[in-house]
Amino acid sequence: MAILEAKALNKTYTVDHQDIMVLNDISLTVEPGEFVVITGSSGSGKTTLLTLLSGLDKPTSGRVFIDQQDITGASEDDLAPLRNRMIGFVFQSFHLIPSMSAMENIMFPAELQGLSNAEKKARQLLERVGLADRADNLPSQLSGGEKQRVSLCRAMINDPKLLFADEPTGNLDSKNGRIVFEQLVEMKNEQGATLILVTHNPEIATAADRVLTLRDGRLTHKIQGLG
């Protein structure tokens, strides 16, 4: 049974009274535990598709189902528990809360859920990514690679079934990029989670179960990956 399903998604933006179609009739299904890469040139609509699939934005038309649940018309407050318990996000620009330390950033989703062992879990995750000694540092005191590893820990703390990653290595050098990617895949596999990853990087694409290519807002290729 599919964990994620999109049916005939369209997304149009209106800029200066002019409609710009970003996504055009996208339909896809993702099975539990799958690792799907979405690739495409700059401006092809990759990130927009990711935001629609994860419920961060709403499509102009079409429907999105997560774990059989139609999230298309759900309000922000209805989506909040779903995002908190079922979904983890990793972004190219990290998006850590600047006023929280590394530890607090990781704990935050667990605290929202009211978990009593949030701190313990966060500490374990930090140790796992080799950042135990940076727990009290603010994001501004961390390097890019460290920020992304904190972001990864934050995504994993609530044991999500679904992971969305938007160019997770895009802002990192090749060495740090490789470390982060390896840790991401490792955690995904341990958790048995599904990973939807947007990237330009052909090396990462080769690790995926399936590669979807977007061109001008349409899915043009569905390549079975090598991973």
Give me the residues that bind another protein (CB under 8 A), please. Answer: 47, 51, 56-57, 76-77, 80-85, 87, 89, 91, 93-101, 104, 108-109, 111-113, 138-140, 144, 147, 154, 158, 166, 171
Max intra-chain CA distance, the chain: 52
Residues contacting 85, CB < 8 A, separation 6+: 113, 158, 160
Smallest distance, another protein to C-beta of residue 160, A: 10
Smallest distance, another protein to C-beta of residue 144, A: 7
Look-up: residue for tokens 């290729």? 221
C-alpha to C-alpha distance for 67 and 160, rounded to whole angstroms: 12
Q: Residue 19 burial by CB count (10 A; 0-12/13-18/19+): exposed, middle or buried?
A: exposed
Smallest distance, another protein to C-beta of residue 6, A: 17
Smallest distance, another protein to C-beta of residue 220, A: 23
Q: Which of 197, 184, 174 is nearest to 125 (CA)?
A: 184
